[in-house]
């Protein structure tokens, strides 16, 4: 199985430029740009200070935005992690590569036995396919030294980062959250801790910086994939107190939640634990950016910063709000799929500071390969487009973007497929076959379904979406014949009363001056983090 994968890498080398697969590249020959790809987990579009947050503080990420280009209509390819991450690796939509839910989620009758829902989610791919060529494999074939640090969640062995084009892997394995937490002792077979209380987030930044130092004389592709800011939400006592006091200074609101369609949803950014977790991630980004500067590599290094889905406003830890976007992680609305989307390409002069063109995680693959002067592998089907013209101040033609998520989000999202084209977004729901149509230019928060006002347009978009799903062989949910409507109604009533009340109580606990989660603050009091 692994040998077939290695043969695929050999084939890419042959197709692109076999002589470039030599192990050593001299400094004189190193004219290709380095690439640092930074991927946050569950970070919302407005969880950064440059993007409008007045509560969270992210100076290092803000600097990337200031020095680079911000794509203000940047999207993840899915509303949950594994599908989105696969799309970055392959440049394909979820319907195409088949990883349509986070790896480990139940499907079919098993799901029905666990959850009482109207439809049963279909099966999905549980790892990247052997025949697929990842962006790391394509770059490695052209002489790049490749490195991965952090969250993988794209398959267990033998589908690890090492078997998908990465020469070095620090901390990437099958799990989707930091097992054991963000402070040592953590549980990770691919990354041991150095001392109790060590910050996992900063360690990943340090490992990435050290890789850069060790490979400064050859082109490299470093993929820093944070576990942060995924749950469990943890921080140090000092950072909690800083943001607890800041929330008080800004004025703590009486309520911080309201009901969304299925679950309560957070409406304010005032979680001091989450704010501390974000700041620690930003500090880790700073470690990497400072190392590039110290080594004199910043002028020849492309830096990407993005997230894999929207901020967690419902479900999980109910951490943040994505306002004015509706919803969050797991949801079909903009809050679930719009992301920070930054590209810093210092070799390009006079780039626009802001690009207002809908782009997706599927576009990174062709964009970075064009930067590197690497041809798209001939036997790899690519759906993304290169964004290099936009970075040059040029334009791209309008094209549709597709999302296929025939599953239920743990955060309240529903099984859907989506098409975005121009200013229009159509959502098709699998529970009852209904559609919603929004004009995002006029209604960014998706409050008004204008399907009845534009039936012809809706019909055209629906056909284009249906044709695409058919073409890709996308799997759809099946009706759950055992669905119990009475039981579902009882659960929904509890969500509107007990859950909402408990969330408000927890929110106020976090903001109490004497709040302490445990005797040693997440095993992190010994650190200087």
Rounded to an integer, what is the distance from CA 500 to the centroid of its chain? 27
pLDDT score at 526: 67
The per-residue pLDDT for 9 is: 44
**Hey, what are 443's tokens?**
């209604």
Question: What per-residue confidence (pLDDT) applies to 525?
Answer: 78
HSE, CB side, 13 Å, CA atoms: give it for residue 56. 34
480 in Cβ contact with 118 (< 8 Å):
yes
Taking CA atoms, 480 is separated from 115, 451, 473, in Å, by 10, 27, 22
The dihedral through the CA atoms of 202, 204, 205, 209 has a sign that is positive
The torsion angles phi and psi of 90, rounded to 5 degrees, stand at -115, -15
| Cα–Cα separations (whole angstroms), residue 421 to 87, 102, 331, 356 | 19, 26, 19, 14
What would the pLDDT profile of 183-200 be if each residue is shown by its tens digit? 999 999 999 999 999 999
Evaluate whether residue 441 is within a structural domain: no
Which residue stretches of the chain have pLDDT < 50?
A: 1-4, 6-30
225 found inside a domain? yes
Cβ–Cβ under 8 Å, residues 231 and 378: no
**H-helix or E-strand containing 137?**
helix 135-140
Total tally of structural domains belonging to the chain = 1
Quick check: is 115 in a domain? yes
Fill in the DSSP letter of residue 428. E
The pLDDT tens digits for 91-129 are 999 999 999 999 999 999 999 999 999 999 999 999 999
Let me know if residue 351 belongs to a domain.
Answer: yes
Q: Which two tokens stand for residue 45?
A: 């579009």
Backbone angles phi, psi at 453, to 5 degrees: -85, -20
Residue 382's CATH number = 3.40.720.10
User: DSSP letter at 180?
Assistant: T
Query: What range defines the domain where residue 406 resides?
Result: 2-415+477-510
- Contact (Cβ atoms closer than 8 angstroms) between residue 264 and residue 494: no
Determine the pLDDT at residue 358. Answer: 98
Residue 466: other Cβ atoms inside 10 A: 14
Two tokens, residue 309: 């889905």
Neighbours of 164 (CB within 10 A): 30
The answer to the question of residue 515 being in a domain is no
């Amino acid at each position: 199985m692994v040998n077939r994968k290695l043969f695929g890498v050999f084939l890419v080398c042959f197709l692109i430029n076999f002589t470039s697969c030599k192990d050593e590249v001299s400094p004189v020959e190193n004219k290709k740009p380095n690439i640092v790809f930074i991927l946050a987990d569950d970070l919302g579009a407005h969880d950064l200070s440059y993007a409008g947050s007045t509560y969270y503080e992210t100076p290092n990420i803000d600097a990337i935005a200031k020095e680079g280009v911000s794509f203000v209509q940047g999207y993840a390819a899915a509303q949950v992690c594994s599908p989105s991450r696969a799309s970055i690796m392959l440049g394909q939509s979820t319907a195409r590569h088949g990883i349509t839910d986070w790896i480990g989620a139940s499907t079919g009758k098993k799901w029905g036995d666990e959850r009482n829902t109207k439809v049963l989610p279909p099966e999905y791919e549980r790892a990247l396919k052997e025949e697929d060529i990842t962006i790391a494999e394509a770059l490695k074939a052209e002489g790049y030294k490749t490195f991965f640090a952090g969250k993988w969640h794209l398959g267990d062995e033998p589908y690890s980062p090492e078997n998908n084009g990465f020469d070095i892997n620090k901390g990437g394995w099958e799990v989707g959250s930091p097992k054991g937490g963000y402070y040592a002792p953590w549980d990770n077979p691919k990354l041991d801790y150095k001392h109790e209380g060590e910050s996992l987030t900063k360690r990943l930044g340090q490992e990435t910086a050290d890789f850069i130092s060790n490979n400064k004389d050859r082109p490299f592709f470093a993929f820093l994939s944070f576990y942060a800011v995924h749950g469990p939400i943890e921080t140090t006592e000092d950072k909690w107190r800083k943001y607890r006091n800041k929330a008080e200074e800004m004025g703590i609101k009486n309520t911080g939640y309201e009901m969304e369609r299925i679950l309560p949803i957070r409406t304010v950014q005032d979680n001091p634990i989450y704010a501390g977790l974000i700041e620690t991630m930003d500090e880790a980004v700073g470690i990497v950016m400072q190392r590039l500067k110290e080594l004199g590599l910043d002028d020849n290094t492309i830096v990407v910063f993005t997230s894999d889905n929207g901020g967690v406003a419902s479900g999980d830890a109910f951490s943040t709000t994505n306002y004015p976007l509706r919803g969050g992680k797991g949801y079909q609305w903009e809050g679930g799929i719009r992301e920070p989307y930054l590209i810093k390409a210092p070799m390009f002069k006079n780039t626009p500071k802001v690009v207002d063109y809908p782009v997706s995680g599927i576009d990174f693959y062709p964009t970075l390969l064009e930067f590197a002067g690497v041809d798209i592998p001939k036997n790899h089907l690519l759906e993304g487009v290169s964004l290099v013209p936009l970075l040059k101040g040029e334009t791209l033609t309008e094209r549709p973007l597709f999302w296929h998520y025939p599953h239920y989000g743990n955060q309240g999202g529903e099984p859907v497929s989506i098409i975005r084209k121009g200013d229009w977004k159509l959502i098709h729901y699998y529970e009852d076959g209904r559609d919603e149509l929004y004009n995002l230019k006029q209604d960014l928060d998706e409050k008004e379904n204008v399907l009845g006002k534009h039936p012809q347009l809706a019909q055209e978009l629906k056909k284009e979406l249906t044709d695409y799903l058919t073409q890709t062989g996308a799997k759809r949910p099946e009706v759950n014949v055992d669905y119990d409507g009475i039981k579902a109604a009882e659960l929904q009533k509890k969500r509107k009363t007990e859950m909402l009340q408990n969330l408000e109580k927890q929110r106020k606990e976090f903001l109490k001056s004497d709040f302490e989660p445990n005797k040693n603050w997440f095993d992190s009091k010994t650190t200087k983090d």
